[in-house]
Structure 1
Amino acid sequence: MTALVTGGGTGIGRACSLALHRAGHAVAISYRRSSDDAESAVAAIREDGGRAIAVAADVTDDDAVRAMVAEVRAQLGPVEVLVNNAGATIPLPLDDLDGATDDVWRQMLGVNLMAPWYCARAAADDLRAAEDGVVVNIGSIAGLTGSGSSLPYAVSKSALHGLTRSLARALAPVRVNEVAPGLVMTRWWAGNEERGRELASKALLDRETTPEDVARAVLGLVESRAITGQTVVVDGGQTL
């Protein structure tokens, strides 16, 4: 089976790419700017005996997404597993209403909502033709709590929850689920590691949630054939 992981060269995306490879999937890793990271992940998979390619694409552009899926199909075969991992944020105090400009809204909704929609739509024929087509969206607890790095970010992730459930109906019997991580120490926290670790220490499990923790949940949903339309929270008890 071929898996496509958007933003699959760094952080959670890289962990998902490697986990899917170890589970026997050929892996296509999309990137927009992080070409070196994507190629590094591809090299790691190939060195371990797997099949992988890196594909440049702006996943907020529908035409670019359709071209990406066509390239993956041509090089690795039909997309049978789609992990919508690419995401973005623009940090703003939650009460900074004037800072939440139209441009900020467009960026957050473009990357965190429209990109997963474009990818799912472009891969829909492949997913439906597969024996067990699967989509896993990477959300955030911000979409459940209403709090996060900015108001537009939290709302965009909440919208992704809705998209997950609606796509589960629209694409059935393709399974569509979501993993909502809490605080994960990726490059998003570069320069603020101390604050991140302080927040992570307040979770019930008293440990940092790692990209590998999230990837294991993603792989579980890929392999669990009776689950669809669900959100799995991976936050160490942060939101309890």
Structure 2
Amino acid sequence: MDLNGTVAVITGGGTGIGAAVAEGLARKGAAAVVVNYSRSGAEAQQTVARLESLGCKAEAVAADVSDDAAVRRLAERVRADYGRVDALVCNAGTTRWVPFPDLEGLTDEVWQRIMGVNLMGAFYCARAFAPALRAARGAIVNVSSVAGLLATGSSIAYGVSKAALLQLTRDLAVALGPEVRVNAVAPGLVATRWHIDRVGEQVFSEMTAKEQLKAPLRRTAQPEHIAQLVTALLEADLVTGEVLVGDGGRHLQY
């Protein structure tokens, strides 16, 4: 896919990886980027301003991706405003920090919220945007996590949701082919506010220093690194149903 002149929708696009993906697409010449958000309204507007400064038309649209009706309204609004959708990046995600041994901490509410956003949200978006993506012979990239591949992450529920998202990616690649390609990225530890705000800058710096010693590339991923993987998959015309891991090779060693 030539990203020049395309229309893209990015869920959770106001901050972190989503914002980096939006900027990456704008720099690739995207004509318009719709930045979806649920709570980060101010940040989404800041992202829109950066995109517009790059010559890309952009708008921020609020919608909870775990609400099917809200997602369908989002898809209809994008269709009405732009007439097409070439790329869908399902980046919206949530978690609860629950230590693995604390099984009682994984309440039904925790499971339902995490699965609702991380898994069902991606499915609802794929279903709602499928007609437009088919018409444009477009592509979807789901943002999963190494927690979907390994027994790690913020909670068991989070890891299960990201593993299920990888299987959904493979299934959708079959269901939406040949018109639509569906792939995923699986970031490791990324320097975003998701991690930094929870533990503080000092602790995060210590964490990343230790992780870097175990990663062949000796680097901690920045949002821009994951955005590179997303755009690469959008551009890869013969790749579908695959996952690219972005963790500097950390997953290669125990």
TM (normalized to structure 2)? 0.91
Q: Which amino acid aligns with 2:208?
A: R
Q: Deviations 1:194-234 (Å, cap 9, x if unpaired)?
A: 34423432322111111100000100000010000000001
1:14 to 19, 23, 32: 19
Distance 2:116 2:237 in 1: 30
Query: Which one-letter code corresponds to 1:74 in the other structure?
Result: A
Contact conserved, 1:83 with 1:135, CA < 8 A, in 2?
yes
Cα pair 2:191 2:220 within 8 Å, conserved: yes
Q: How many residues are treated as equivalent by the alignment?
A: 239
Aligned match of 2:3: none
1:114 is aligned with what amino acid?
M
Counterpart in the other structure of 1:97:
103
Structure 1 or 2: more helix by fraction: 2
Work out whether 1:194 is the aligned partner of 2:200: no
- Equivalent in the alignment of 2:88: 82
1:231 to 2:243 alignment: yes
Aligned Cα root-mean-square deviation (Å)? 1.1
Contact 1:2 1:77 in 2 (8 A): no
Structure 2, unaligned runs of 5 or more = 1-5
Report the AA paired with residue 125 of structure 1.
P
* 1:1-240 alignment, distance < 5 Å: 1-25=6-30, 26-130=32-136, 132-173=137-178, 174-189=180-195, 190=197, 191=200, 192-201=203-212, 202-240=214-252
Runs (5+) with no aligned partner, structure 1: none
% of aligned pairs identical? Answer: 51
Deviations 1:131-174 (A, max 9, x none): x3100000000000022110000000000011000000000020
- Looking at structure 1, the residues matched to 217 and 233 of structure 2 have their Cα atoms a distance apart, in angstroms, of 22
Do 2:26 and 2:55's aligned partners in 1 also have CA atoms closer than 8 Å?
Answer: no
TM-score, length-scaled by structure 1: 0.97
Code of the aligned partner of 1:159: A
Contact 1:29–1:53 (8 Å) recurs in 2: yes
